[in-house]
Structure 1
Amino acid sequence: MLFNIHSLDWDPELCSFFDIPMEILPTVRSSSEIYGRMRSGSLAGVPISGCLGDQSAALVGQMCFEEGQAKNTYGTGCFLLRNTGTKPVMSEHGLITTIAYKLGRDKPACYALEGSVAIAGAVIRWLRDNMCIVQSSSEIEQLAAEAGTSYGCYFVPAFSGLYAPYWEPSARGIICGLTQFTNRSHLAFAALEAVCFQTREILDAMNQDCCIPLPVLGVDGGMTGNRLLMQLQADILCIPVVRPSMSETTALGAAMAAGAAEGVEVWSLNPDQLPEVTAERYQPQINTQESELRFARWKKAVQKSMNWETSETSCTSNGKPPPPQR
């Protein structure tokens, strides 16, 4: 929180405000250059030459090197990044402007818009551990497929508030649209839809900030093994979703940055020389009108989740409500 993403160095004003001497901060280096070498052991002499945070590494691993390309990582939460090129785009729709990467000491920095979803894979664990709807996370896909629909049920998993694009800490999780016919299969389907709807909200914000609709979304992370989830995502976004055969794109991206560093050059990150990657492509299978109707109902449910919590009744640090006052 002391770094200036425009000057690419520590910010004097911030350091002064927090009373942090700038001379104690490390030298800023790019994402891909030799920082040093291993001194001992079986890796002695091997250069240390790549440094990327999780989401930036996934962006590189998805080979999103061109302006406008985007990826979404599905883990405990969701993290959607869109490459905006060498010019930072300041969001007016609830997203974060960040540095994507700087792949070399003399290379320009590339920026990204980032949107975060707090609860993605965590909702599956909640259904398993808290509600005991399934015994293992892998059962969710089969259970949801049995229903094939949420039967009008909508799930907003705002367990600790909503992140982008709302940034609303007062929101809490709700399940609405229940009827006497709703069963655990419908709840499982609604939980998967919730992940997709939250991604749609972020993508819509990105499209507004960039003024150019995203044509295709690259995906990675543990949840992408759920084929039903990936098809739902394509249906709700109304664009193709592409999952590479190499699912560990975060590790791949860090390795790519290290291997492309000057003095290492195991491979090139030139877009014209990138290898072909095998991938599975999910095309939208429902009409746009149905997708928009379901999304509109989701947004109605989100509004109902707002303003449930206040500072007087907020949870304690362990997630449990405070004891009653006597």
Structure 2
Amino acid sequence: MTEAEKIARILLAEPKWRIVCHVKPDGDTLGCGSALVSAGKKLGHDVIWGGVDSLPPLYSFLPHSGEYRAGASASEDGRCVIAVDVSARDRGVPGLEPRISIDHHESNERFGAEVNWVDPQAAATGEMVYEVVLALGCAIDADIAEALYVSIATDCGWFKFSNTTADTMRIATELVKAGAVPAKLDERLHFNDTPAKLRLWGRCMARVGPVGARAALSWITRDDFRETGALESDTEGLINMLTHMKGADVTVMVSEVEGCLRCSVRSRGPVSAQAIAAKWNGGGHRYAAGCKIYLPLEEGLKALEEELSRV
């Protein structure tokens, strides 16, 4: 029996599901959640979904986005809890113990009480949820196809990143056949930016510079968010733009948020982004990772520069 089949067997026996997305939700976790809500409801189950943080406006077009619950409590209410794309217990809902964890992060803590399906070879958790939906015996309609296409496309850079595999392309093909329209989704995610977001990105790109021989670093301050009117969620995708800098095998972007510095790390060479993030107890993948640094901005940037100068 495959992991997808094990998960499907549990879910089919449970009348009530609760799907948990990770903090600062992105396209992968939200696409997975949206798809499972659609599948569960089609099969007649009572399904709710949400996470600690709000659903970013950019993803408000996803099916069932209006039902997403932010700031969710740790009460299980007798529901089968499924964590999707959540690599660590503290990235889900604090105090909530998922029965099932589906994730593609190598650093996953395996905190699911019954099933931990972790596949670092998957370009996105959406590839795995696709298999779960099939195992459930649920026909993939346009809503499920759209949600899973968003999940997969956003996490593999619209099929440009090195994590894109033949399986990634095969699944994407099936999703397009089922009703996902790539041009429409590209329009919604890439041609829908606010002036505030563009101003924020401009400030970050104006600061980017080399560190040592092979790295690049930039940052956004709390004042930048306040003065531009941008949201914290508006930083999604910005790190990928910074990786375009010539000669930068490793790129780090720092966002100064309440209580910490949130760091995104990308690698396009032999250096592991996950290894760099691990210096501050972060995690992720070899080519994409993240961490939090609990220092003032100036001190945190100095610590990063010291680490990156050794790359």
- TM-score class, shorter: under 0.3
Higher relative contact order (CA 8 A, sep 6+): 1
Larger Rg: 1
- Give the TM-score normalised by structure 2: 0.27
Greater helix share, structure number:
2
User: TM-score if structure 1 supplies the norm length?
Assistant: 0.26
